[in-house]
Structure 1
Amino acid sequence: MRISVIGCGYLGAVHAASMAKLGHDVVAVDVDPGKIERLAAGEAPFFEPGLPEILTEALASGRIRFTTDMAEVADATVHFLAVGTPQGPTGAADLTYVDAAVASLVPHLSADAYVVGKSTVPVGTAARLAGEVEAAVPGATLVWNPEFLREGFAVQDTISPDRLVYGVPAGEQGERATAVLDEVYASALAEGTPRLVVDLPTAELVKVSANAFLATKISFINAMAEIAEVVGADVTALADAIGHDARIGRKFLNAGLGFGGGCLPKDIRAFQARASELGVPDSLAFLADVDAINLRRRDHVVTLAQELLGGDVAGKRVAVLGLAFKPNSDDVRDSPSLDIAGRLEGLGAHVAAYDPEAVVTARRVRPELDYTETAADALRGAELVLVLTEWNEFRELDASEVAGLVASPVVVDGRNCLDRDAWTAAGFTYRGMGR
């Protein structure tokens, strides 16, 4: 199929390259000439495993092209909206980019075109945009097809998703839209991917509801970590025990620094704001506590660092391992790790920071930190070690070798990802989260 993707950020770039990988003819558009130039040269503007390979393959095949000219999408049948919806000053989602993308796209739509929203938007947005599209181009159809990408697995999640959700109009128009999306996702459907066809507001709610649930689950186990630390229990063993209950499950029950990134924090705040606009603020009032618990874990690590350094971090060398909000990513948006590093630096610590992929992105946000090229450089002479992102490189550190580098063998395992017995055997004072 002839497909356009509007927006070449994280979502759009991955989606465009993946659609080309599946054999579609793709034109991807963005207003940022620098981003387009890099993508057209086969250079991914962010770290995502597998993206450089499928991008190179798509460019070599001729099935993808990148442009800043919206007019080049005119021959496409399906147009994916993949622009950002950042958090506004009130917590509500800022729809500036979505509205601008639709306004720029409409003059180039044909009467048989399908506009497919993938951005995470407040419920009710799709119905409004559908009215605008149909009024401007009679016959054109807007549908909503939320994305469920996990950073670090985004290519896999696009090509072989765990489910497909189509939000379509009622009646024959919706049936035609469903058939078109079935053609777009023919490969995934052939593999048995579940497909759910719903109305527009349900499709909009699916993504934010999923993120709200995951955020709640993470904050729940972190609340249990707070209790465990007071009574001397082990929250990891607790999570294993309750995770055997099929109604609960073990995934996302890992106590640590909490969630960050460009989705969960933003989405739960925007969801609360939308509930207030709809006149049902109490329905999502609990998300304020979810958010507060999450942010408290960062405070806890700062306090723990002060305690382990004798009450004052000023002048002390602290090694921070991990800056991205999660492993296999260079994304530092609302990163708990980078936030903690910045706070400690602000308290007078000398923070030596290292991440396998996120040094460049972190430096843009926190230029004051001392960034190192290797983990060993960060560790050398450290009076406290903080492991704040669970990269495999850090999981696999030899505690005895680390002991030979640091000035003082004290480690905070902010993600409960280290072998506690191995580190204590190497002479370290070990502190985990809720352990």
Structure 2
Amino acid sequence: MAHRLTVIGTGYLGATHAACMADLGFEVIGLDIDQRKIDQLSAGHLPFYEPGLEPVLRRNLENGRLRFTTSYEELAEFGDVHFVCVGTPQKLGEYAADLTFVDEAVDALAPLLRRPCLVVGKSTVPVGTAGRLAERIARQAPAAGDAVLAWNPEFLREGFAVQDTLHPDRIVIGVPGEQGAAEHAEKVLRAIYAPMLAEGTPFIVADYPTSELVKVSANAFLATKISFINAMAEVCEAAHADVTKLSEALSYDDRIGGKFLGAGLGFGGGCLPKDIRAFMARAGELGADQALTFLREVDEINIRRRIRMVDLARHQLGGSFIDRTVGVLGAAFKPNSDDIRDSPALDVAASIRGQGATVTVYDPQAMENARRAHPDLTFGGSALEAAKDAHVVLLLTEWAEFRDMDPFELGAVVAEKNIVDGRNALDPERWRAAGWSYRALGRPQAP
């Protein structure tokens, strides 16, 4: 008999996991305490943008394998395996992760667990959290030792979430120290992920702390790689070198590789910034703070890129934003997403607006979120509308439609042909040939 699955939390991770597990053939219930979100998902609409996910959601609502609820009682009665997919944001005014939603989810579920089941944490948490939650479940669940906790970190990339869920590059599970419970957790998760294992996906079984460290370690490494090439961009600017050529040359070294080696405005979003900060905070609590002091510089390099972008734009305007119009292309922290959390693009736009410019922003998907977060900014309905009468245009999110823009068409609507490429996404020669003054992070000015 197939396991029946539940997913607690229907944000980006939870909604994706619920829909994809249903697509694998499981019966799935997703839970959220936000009735508006439940109503939206039950109607087949996502509360966020993710390419390819909405058809999966609708298909499984229609075939009856997927439904949504706000009832923990319904969840506990239905499910054999409960995936916890709630958010762990950064605490206000601190580096540490806020585990309120994780604790509340476990406290709501555990007292209702009256029969054998597996609780599987997927949220990104500080190391040590799983052990604490396992004790909490054992203490509160009527099923006691028959309610087992495992940890199964997620590795989703926004824009590729369906692919990463159904065809992951690895599956990691953290299991309890008791042999029987560990064997049970591994057996259940191997059964759930059988289609992926049949494709040859590596399956790594570890203890709780190791499994918790995998996601934050991966994010810390990627953030370090991004900040490394952006630090090299700083040196390139000082030396009149070209960071894009430097990056290309480094990428052919198979010890380094080309992924995450594109210099530009730096990283943002809901994962990398808050995860590396929470990692530093937790290391400090464990007395290992010196091991991660380098991440502070990684974070600072990332923030400096935003400041440098503002400086380049100001330089293009002769030293002042006062009474100038700036067109901003991009609001999401990355393309193929509507996520504006810690968005470098919006950070730059707001900073320039604060220095006296009229700023008009356009993004293919993130406009609604950006308007709510920054009502002080002006928004255009297209790239041409955002650039209309602009004295400088900034490319801050590398959407394909921005990379493919016609410099002559854009040039026809601006006040001055100044462009600053914050993502090194454009061909400088093509834009300069069209009469534009082109600047980019880490690249030399035209002779």
Q: Per the shorter chain, which TM-score range?
A: over 0.9
Partner of 1:64: 66
Partner of 2:211: 203
Distance 1:126 1:175 in 2: 17
Shift of 1:107: 2.0
Partner of 1:320: 328
Shift of 1:370: 0.8
TM-score normalised per structure 1 = 0.99
Match status 1:334 vs 2:342: yes
Partner of 1:213: 221
RMSD: 0.8
Partner of 1:150: 157
TM-score normalised per structure 2 = 0.96
Match status 1:193 vs 2:183: no
SS of residue in 1 equivalent to 2:365: coil
SS of residue in 2 equivalent to 1:58: helix
Q: Partner letter of residue 128 of structure 1? A: R
Partner of 2:269: 261
Partner of 2:131: 127
Q: Partner letter of residue 127 of structure 2? A: V
Q: Partner letter of residue 314 of structure 1? A: I
Distance 2:383 2:280 in 1: 40
Greater shift, 279-288 or 135-144, is seen at 135-144
Distance 1:257 1:250 in 2: 17
Structural mapping, 1:363-374, within 5 Å = 363-374=371-382
Distance 1:37 1:233 in 2: 54
SS of residue in 1 equivalent to 2:237: helix
Match status 1:345 vs 2:332: no
Structural mapping, 1:374-385, within 5 Å = 374-385=382-393
Q: Partner letter of residue 60 of structure 2? A: A
Partner of 2:83: 80
- Aligned residue pairs total 435
Partner of 2:48: 46
Partner of 1:166: 173
Shift of 1:380: 1.6
SS of residue in 2 equivalent to 1:304: helix
Distance 2:38 2:311 in 1: 44
SS of residue in 1 equivalent to 2:134: helix
Structure 1 residue ranges, 4+ long, deviating more than 3 angstroms after superposition: none
Distance 1:265 1:179 in 2: 35
Match status 1:116 vs 2:123: no
Match of 2:101 among 97, 109, 114: 97
Give the unaligned 5+ runs of structure 1.
Answer: none
Shift of 1:372: 0.8
Match of 1:400 among 379, 403, 408: 408
Partner deviation per Cα, 1:370-418 (whole Å, 9 max, x = no partner) = 1011111111211100000000000000111111121111100000001
Partner deviation per Cα, 1:279-317 (whole Å, 9 max, x = no partner) = 111010010000000000000011111111111111111
Match of 1:289 among 274, 293, 297: 297
Distance 2:283 2:147 in 1: 30
Structural mapping, 1:225-264, within 5 Å = 225-264=233-272
Partner of 1:358: 366
Q: Partner letter of residue 399 of structure 1? A: P
